[in-house]
Amino acid sequence: MKTIVIACLLFSLTTMAYAFKPKTHVYLAEIAIEDALDDGKVTIHYVDYEGKKIVGAIGEYPVSSEVLYALRNHAAQYRAGVLGPDAYPDIFTGQQAIHPKYAGKWFEYLWSRAQSADPAAKAFVLGYMTHGAGDMFGHTFINHFSGGPFSFAEYNAVKHFVVESCVANRNPPLKTYNASIAGVEDFIYQTLINAHPDSHLRKYLLKGEGTDLSLPLYASKTKSWLERYIQDYSNWIQKRNEEIDGLKKKNQREREKIIPDIFAITSRLAEIGVLEADKSTFINARIHAVNYAREWIKDIDRGLKVWPKVSHEIATALMFDPSGTNLEKAKKVAQDFLLDHYLSMIGAPDVVGDVIQEALKQIAALIEFIMEKVPALKVILAELEKIKNDFLNYLCKKAFGMSAEEYSKYLKSPETYFNDVIHLGQGSARPTLGEFYKNYLHLAKSSDYFDWQKFAPAYNTVTISKLILLDQSTINQLLQDLGTYRRLTTANIMLGFIENLDADNQWACCTSKMVFAQDMEFYQRIFMFQAGETKINVPVQDSLDLNQFFAGKFIYKANSKIKAGGGFIIKEQKKVVFKAPEIEFTPGFEVQPGSELSADQ
């Protein structure tokens, strides 16, 4: 039993597929909140979508006082949230239940719960949704090289690991690794772990394939069936006691008569004796199992309560440690949880000693009953013989199609293997490592760090990370400034459209689209084109005759000619770009001091 539990924990540690590594997620999120915290506003820029460069500022948009307070006072909780479902409620649940399905529903659920929570929890949820934003653009980029969303298909997994790790190795150094869940442990427990039968978590989110081995789910299911077992036991005794009490009351009334019916009293006493004996037999046959079930529930409660802290410590050791990966610490945390909580949570007796044979039989029957009701426990036991001799390699081969040694070498030195693996299997692009760094990360030298303003997936992530900090009315002001009639109808920019964090192009691929992507002309004003993106061309006219500046439009394109004059005045330090083979300026066109025109012919 002990071996399989360690294996299950290690399985949850090794089935991790990232878009960006956590270090990159946090680095980009820090840029967004630093912009917000310096003056209470975030600057949103208009960009050259295809040229992948910033053109100028659209404006500065205020962050609400509530969000600013949460970020200023709980930045460490925000960073923890940015680790997102890679860490909470645990790595396995995040990868199997949150990333690939219902991601939007999870965000809506957490957002709604955060509205009545304290500022630390609000900061955590803002970070959690920011992780989703990074996955949205990051997976679009990584999937372009790997051949699609993370899977165990041939070469897909190894290409994910190698490409992601090469990006992470060119990530600028972090200023801090301070990520904390202090003060939000109970929020994480209540919203992401406590899957009791009436919870939203149990009813709507932890559903479908891949969720059965989620610890919060199967532990909560086990607890529910144990409670039902105890309740059925109590109900049976209560019913029998009511029958006995009824007979006793009848005898009492009979005795109070002037001439009591001695025969009836004697008959009832005999019946009471039979019922009492039957009750004693029932109790003796189950009391050890019932007492064990009560203790089992306590073990589950204790284990689930500490699970947020355990998940946090494992995740930060593996993914967010200044040294890179602190595998020894992660193993120790997992081992301590195993011995202190997990064995008891799955029903292993704390002490056997000289427990009488009858008690063991009752406990064994109870465990068998629970395993029938919670199949995940059966799966855990069924795997025991397969992996007890070499469980780590078994898990790695099951997860990645490779041994632990192979898996480790790809993560430790991805650059060594990039040129070999990039040509394997599926993939829309097969650059050499040098081409990857030069053409995709835009590095002058392979030893350079990427510049987030030039690396489109990073820039797009920072932009939407800023937008996540803005309330609905402020987003709508930005939309108005861009000149579109579209309006945000949800409380936050990340709500209502995303479905799968492992897939690509989630901003525009599905029935519901991110509000800026509902009209791609306006999406392309603030987001850069990136590798892996399904390009949606905005119609370009053959010629433009401009006599005024259009609100929110800073780049003007024509297939043949742009003619600008009349009242077309560039002012208020705006930067405008004209793109056409021929550009003509007529009287009335003006560029005021501090403003700028770039003519690209």
Nearest to 102, CA basis, from 213, 206, 221: 206
Q: What is the pLDDT of residue 129?
A: 96
Per the domain annotation, does 494 fall within a domain?
A: yes
Q: What angle do CA 563, 565, 566 make, to 5 degrees?
A: 140
CA Rg value for the chain? 31
Match 């995303």 to its residue by tokens. Answer: 498
Per the domain annotation, does 5 fall within a domain?
A: no
Mean pLDDT of 236-248: 94
**Other CB atoms within 10 A of residue 430 CB:** 12
Q: Which residues contact 9 (CB under 8 A, 6 or more apart)?
A: 334, 337, 338, 342
Residue 350's Cα: distance from chain center in Å?
A: 34
Same domain assignment for residues 343 and 458: no
Task: Take residue 589 and report the two structure tokens written for it.
Answer: 């066109």
Is residue 403 within 8 Å of 494, Cβ to Cβ? no
Q: Measured between alpha carbons, how far is 548 from 323 in angstroms, rounded to an integer?
A: 56
| Side-chain-side CA neighbours of residue 484 (13 Å) | 20
Same domain assignment for residues 242 and 158: no
Mean pLDDT of 237-257: 92
Q: What angle do CA 299, 95, 209 make, to 5 degrees?
A: 80
Q: What is the pLDDT of residue 360?
A: 66
pLDDT band at 244 (very low <50, low <70, confident <90, very high): very high
Q: Measured between alpha carbons, how far is 85 from 65 in angstroms, rounded to an integer?
A: 27
pLDDT band at 357 (very low <50, low <70, confident <90, very high): low
Same domain assignment for residues 219 and 357: yes
Alpha helices in 320-356 (DSSP H): 327-337, 343-345
Question: Does position 500 have pLDDT exceeding 50, yes or no?
Answer: yes
Same domain assignment for residues 416 and 496: yes
Same domain assignment for residues 42 and 167: yes
Q: What angle do CA 521, 525, 526 make, to 5 degrees?
A: 130
What is the torsional sign of CA 437, 440, 441, 443? positive
Same domain assignment for residues 167 and 34: yes
Q: Measured between alpha carbons, how far is 94 from 87 in angstroms, rounded to an integer?
A: 7
Per the domain annotation, does 537 fall within a domain?
A: no
Task: Take residue 405 and report the two structure tokens written for it.
Answer: 């040694």
Q: Measured between alpha carbons, how far is 146 from 421 in angstroms, rounded to an integer?
A: 9
Is residue 172 within 8 Å of 59, Cβ to Cβ? no
The domain boundary, picked from 355, 386, 417, lies at: 386
Q: Of 253-257, 273-277, 320-324, 463-467, where does the model show the most confidence?
A: 463-467
Is residue 455 within 8 Å of 141, Cβ to Cβ? no
Per the domain annotation, does 84 fall within a domain?
A: yes
Task: Take residue 373 and report the two structure tokens written for it.
Answer: 């009701």
Q: Measured between alpha carbons, how far is 495 from 458 in angstroms, rounded to an integer?
A: 21
pLDDT band at 155 (very low <50, low <70, confident <90, very high): confident
Q: What is the pLDDT of residue 351?
A: 46
Per the domain annotation, does 277 fall within a domain?
A: yes
Q: What is the pLDDT of residue 79?
A: 97
Burial class (CB in 10 A: 0-12, 13-18, 19+), 369: middle
Distances (CA, A) of 561 to 581, 584, 599, 600: 6, 8, 12, 11
Per the domain annotation, does 207 fall within a domain?
A: no
Task: Take residue 425 and report the two structure tokens written for it.
Answer: 């299997």
Q: What is the pLDDT of residue 5?
A: 44
Same domain assignment for residues 55 and 29: yes
Question: Does position 301 have pLDDT exceeding 70, yes or no?
Answer: yes
Mean pLDDT in the chain?
86
Q: What is the pLDDT of residue 526?
A: 95
Mutual orientation of helices 75-83 and 22-39 as an angle, nearest 10°? 150
Cis peptide before 89 (omega within 30 of 0): yes
Mean pLDDT of 16-26: 79
Per the domain annotation, does 1 fall within a domain?
A: no
Per the domain annotation, does 482 fall within a domain?
A: yes
Q: What is the pLDDT of residue 47?
A: 93
Same domain assignment for residues 222 and 371: yes
Each residue of 354-365: b (16+ CB within 10 Å) or e? eeeeebeebbee
Task: Take residue 149 and report the two structure tokens written for it.
Answer: 């969303």
Task: Take residue 556 and report the two structure tokens written for it.
Answer: 């003007």
Mutual orientation of helices 357-373 and 375-382 as an angle, nearest 10°? 110
Q: What is the pLDDT of residue 402?
A: 58
Q: What is the pLDDT of residue 505?
A: 92
Least confident span in 114-118, 359-363, 496-500 = 359-363
| Residue range 314-355, pLDDT digits in tens | 889 888 888 877 878 887 888 788 778 887 887 765 544 445
- The domain of 486 spans 16-182+400-526
Question: Does position 14 have pLDDT exceeding 60, yes or no?
Answer: no
Least confident span in 210-219, 289-298, 406-415 = 406-415
Same domain assignment for residues 178 and 270: no
The domain boundary, picked from 356, 386, 416, lies at: 386
Same domain assignment for residues 418 and 521: yes
Distances (CA, A) of 486 to 60, 96, 140: 20, 34, 25
Amino acid (1-letter code) at residue 303: G
Q: What is the pLDDT of residue 344?
A: 82
Which comes out higher in pLDDT, residue 350 or 27?
A: 27
Task: Take residue 176 and report the two structure tokens written for it.
Answer: 């801090």
Q: What's the total number of domains in the chain?
A: 3
Question: Does position 511 have pLDDT exceeding 70, yes or no?
Answer: yes
Same domain assignment for residues 244 and 146: no
Least confident span in 123-127, 257-261, 405-409, 596-600 = 405-409
The domain boundary, picked from 358, 386, 414, lies at: 386
Residue % of the chain over a pLDDT of 70: 88
SS3 for 418?
helix
Match 């390009």 to its residue by tokens. Answer: 535
Same domain assignment for residues 489 and 558: no
